[in-house]
Amino acid sequence: MKIAIGNDHAAVEMKKEICAFLEELGHEVINFGTDTGESVNYPVYGEKVGRAVASREADCGIAICGTGVGISLAANKVKGIRAVVCSEPYSAKLAKLHNNANVLCFGARVIGIELAKMIVTEWLNAEFEGGRHADRVNMIMEIENR
């Protein structure tokens, strides 16, 4: 898969490790994040990841900041984006199975790299179940048109 990744200054090291992990798994990574520790604004990177996914430049996205919260809020402002913050694998898996989340977010100041890898793995490996969940996801997306 082609995966867009974005991060602010709080998540440079975790981003690098997640990129290496994704590439080891055979994915192509498009890096939209900052690569230095200089303070930057997370909305910029959340939007970049969101736009890459919404335009289908990427199949899905991963966005990391200190908590995962701010960058997810920014990504969710892009039409077509369903960004979720996950700090454990169960929610990450269900976020794909039931919610078809297309951007996964987490916090580099909240979880460690091994847990982050487990969260990424569960989310990437899960497939949207459709059916009644598709109806509900469609209801969410219709909110964008009102």
Which residues are annotated as part of the binding site for D-ribulose 5-phosphate? 8-9, 66-70, 99, 109, 132, 136
**Residue 19 annotated as catalytic:** no
> Among 62-70, 74-82, 91-99, 132-140, which window interacts with ligand RB5 (CB under 6 A)?
62-70
Q: How far is the CB of 34 from ligand RB5 (least distance, A)?
A: 11
**Residue 27 annotated as catalytic:** no
The answer to the question of residue 116 lying near ligand RB5 (CB under 6 A) is no
- Residue 109: how many other CB atoms lie within 10 Å: 12
The answer to the question of residue 70 lying near ligand RB5 (CB under 6 A) is yes
> Tokens representing 68?
């995962």
The answer to the question of residue 110 lying near ligand RB5 (CB under 6 A) is no
Residue number with the shortest CB distance to ligand RB5? 70
Nearer to ligand RB5, 29 or 75 (CB): 75
| Contact yes or no for 116/137 (Cβ under 8 A) | no
Q: How far is the CB of 106 from ligand RB5 (least distance, A)?
A: 11
Nearest to 52 by CA among 32, 72, 66: 32
> Tokens representing 78?
């892009």
Antiparallel, parallel or unpaired: β 60-65 and 28-31: unpaired
Spell out, one character per residue from 29 to 48, where the chain touches ligand RB5: x when CB under 6 A holds, - when not: -------------x------
Which residues contribute to the site for ligand RB5 (CB under 6 A)?
8, 10, 42, 65-67, 69-70
Task: List residues with catalytic annotation.
Answer: 65, 98
